[in-house]
Amino acid sequence: MTQTTARLSLIGLAVALSACSVIEESKIDYKSAKKASTLEVPPDLTQLTKDTRYSAAPDRSVSAVALQAGQAQVPTVERAAPLQVGDVEIKRDGDKRWLVVSRPVDQLWEPTREFWLDHGFNLSQEKADLGIIETEWAENRAKLPQDIIRSTLGKVFDSLYSTSERDRFRTRLERRADGKTEIYITHRGMEEVYSNSNKDSTIWQPRPSDPELETEFLRRLMIKLGTTEEQSRALVAADKATTVQAAPSAKVSTINGQPTVQLAEPFDRAWRRVGVALDRTGFTVEDRDRSKGVYYVRYVAPNPDTQEKKKGWFSGWFSSKPENKPGQYQIAVRSEGEQTQVTVLDSKGQPEKQAAQRIVRVIADDLK
């Protein structure tokens, strides 16, 4: 029996013997990520002053218990009013949420960086000039069953206990012309699955992004930026109660011989949605120029032949040295009125030919 099979069998036994235990899915605990190994970069994805607090208005918060019981009115918020406390406002477009904070990026960078460290993450990217912070891959240890077996054996063989999921988060702080800052948090997930019917080896494969997990970390970041626990919960609850226009679907077509994503929406909304799509799908954003409507990115097309199916404790973990050379591209967002087109250019700004179809499809799949 291989080490992988033994590990999975032991975990399965623990779960079976603790059938009455309940895993708190809403609980988050990445504290142990500092002590554990993390996933390297998958072959298809390459890497590239203190906070100013404020005093929130009194008597505007409600208890989390009352909110959950549905017995309290949400404070400070009406359907047509901004979802805001102090200088922190939450916005939503479909399943995508972000914060708008009335402070410049340089005042928000350090508290945002500290926020991820406080939650137990190691950081793989810190690009203050671009306003990008990205965590390393880590597991949510709160998803492990808290049963009698783990409480005894787990203290001695804690490494035997592991979830089959890993998470990575990217935070993007974007400057606005009015001096405010938009903050986006995007999630990427991986899951470990058996690679064959013999179940003697495993591989890691992508799993869908979790918008609710993104929202939860946005809520916790609100607290770091000065709101109270109750106020943050109230804002999120009020946001979920509002009616928001559904995001239009993305249509892939060919225009002038070039693969194109077509969006029936104006530039501001399209620019925001494309930025979130790039974050969620793991593009390395090296720069961006909103005035020109261009994201400068790096991307490596996946090659299944380079994804080794390793056996053992770290089966399926990806190599950080892909065989494919990362390509540099420009993602152009061009709008005319209520219509926007997204195209792929090469590093010199000319229409890309080889990788355009693949990149357009990746972006469009997330925008749907």
Reading the block at residue 12, the tokens are 């399965």
H helix intervals, the chain:
3-17, 64-69, 105-118, 148-156, 211-224, 229-241, 267-280, 356-367
Q: Which residue has the tokens 């793989």?
A: 124
Predicted TM-score (pTM) above 0.75:
no
Using alpha carbons, select from 20, 180, 185 the residue that is nearest to residue 84.
Answer: 180
Which pLDDT does position 146 carry in this prediction?
A: 56
Which pLDDT does position 6 carry in this prediction?
A: 46
Reading the block at residue 127, the tokens are 């690009």
Residue, of 287 and 44, whose pLDDT is higher: 287
Which pLDDT does position 106 carry in this prediction?
A: 95
Whether residue 267 contacts residue 29, with contact meaning beta carbons closer than 8 Å, is answered with: no
Q: What is the share, in percent, of the chain residues with pLDDT greater than 70? A: 65
Instruction: Compute CA distances 338 → 115, 248, 295, 344, whole Å.
Output: 37, 11, 20, 20
pLDDT in tens, 63-84: 333 333 333 333 333 333 458 8
Count the residues in the chain: 368
Which pLDDT does position 135 carry in this prediction?
A: 95
SS3 161: coil
Give the chain's mean pLDDT: 75
Q: Give dist(CA 125, CA 276) in Å, integer.
A: 17
Rounded mean pLDDT of 283-310?
Answer: 75
pLDDT in tens, 232-241: 999 998 888 8
Highest mean pLDDT among 33-47, 138-152, 244-258: 244-258
Residue, of 139 and 247, whose pLDDT is higher: 139
**DSSP β-bridge partners for residue 295:** 288, 331
Which pLDDT does position 33 carry in this prediction?
A: 46
Confidence of residue 30 (pLDDT cuts 50, 70, 90): confident
Of the listed ranges 53-67, 147-161, 175-189, 283-297, the least confidently predicted one is 53-67
Of the listed ranges 56-70, 178-192, 327-341, the least confidently predicted one is 56-70
Rounded mean pLDDT of 347-354?
Answer: 93
Q: Give dist(CA 165, CA 204) in Å, integer.
A: 9
pLDDT in tens, 104-119: 999 999 999 999 999 9
Q: Give dist(CA 124, CA 113) in Å, integer.
A: 12
List Cβ neighbours of 15 (8 Å cut-off, separation of 6 or more).
145
Which pLDDT does position 137 carry in this prediction?
A: 92
Rounded mean pLDDT of 353-360?
Answer: 93
Whether residue 112 contacts residue 171, with contact meaning beta carbons closer than 8 Å, is answered with: yes
DSSP assignment of 174-239 = EE-TTS-EEEEEEEEEEEEEESSTT---EEEEEE---HHHHHHHHHHHHHHTT--HHHHHHHHHHH
- pLDDT at residue 26 tops 70: no
Which pLDDT does position 160 carry in this prediction?
A: 52
pLDDT in tens, 122-169: 999 999 999 999 999 988 877 666 555 545 554 444 555 567 889 999
* All structural domains of the chain with their residue ranges: 3-367
- pLDDT at residue 311 tops 70: no
Which pLDDT does position 308 carry in this prediction?
A: 39
Residue, of 259 and 26, whose pLDDT is higher: 259
Confidence of residue 347 (pLDDT cuts 50, 70, 90): very high
Which pLDDT does position 201 carry in this prediction?
A: 86
Reading the block at residue 207, the tokens are 């799993």
Which pLDDT does position 142 carry in this prediction?
A: 73
Which pLDDT does position 23 carry in this prediction?
A: 28
Whether residue 367 contacts residue 360, with contact meaning beta carbons closer than 8 Å, is answered with: no
Q: Are strands 181-194 and 96-101 parallel, antiparallel or unpaired?
A: antiparallel
- pLDDT at residue 19 tops 90: no
List Cβ neighbours of 168 (8 Å cut-off, separation of 6 or more).
39, 124, 134, 135, 136, 137, 138, 187, 188, 189, 190
Long-range pairs of 352-360 with CB within 8 A, sequence gap ≥ 24: 355/299, 355/301, 355/327, 355/329, 356/258, 356/259, 357/259, 358/301, 359/299, 359/329, 359/331, 360/252, 360/259, 360/260, 360/261
b/e code 267-276 from CB counts within 10 Å (16+ = b): bebbbbbbbb
